[in-house]
Amino acid sequence: MLNIEEEVERLKEEIQRLGQVQPDGSYKVTFGVLFNDDRCANIFEALVGTLRAAKKRKILTYDGELLLQGVHDNVEIIMKPPPPAVTASVV
CATH number of the domain encompassing residue 55 = 1.10.10.1540
**Distance, CA of 9 to CA of 53 (rounded, Å):** 11
pLDDT band for position 90 (50/70/90)?
low
The per-residue pLDDT for 42 is 87
* Alpha-carbon distance values, 7 to 1, 4, 22, 79, 91 (Å): 9, 5, 23, 15, 36
DSSP assignment string, 54-74: HHHTTSEE-SSSS--TTTTTT
Q: Is residue 85 part of a domain?
A: no
Q: How many domains does the chain have?
A: 1
Residue-wise pLDDT tens digits, 11-66 = 999 999 999 999 999 999 999 999 999 999 888 888 999 999 999 999 999 998 88
* Alpha-carbon distance values, 60 to 54, 63, 78, 82 (Å): 6, 11, 5, 11
Q: Is residue 83 part of a domain?
A: no
Q: Is the pLDDT of residue 2 over 60?
A: no
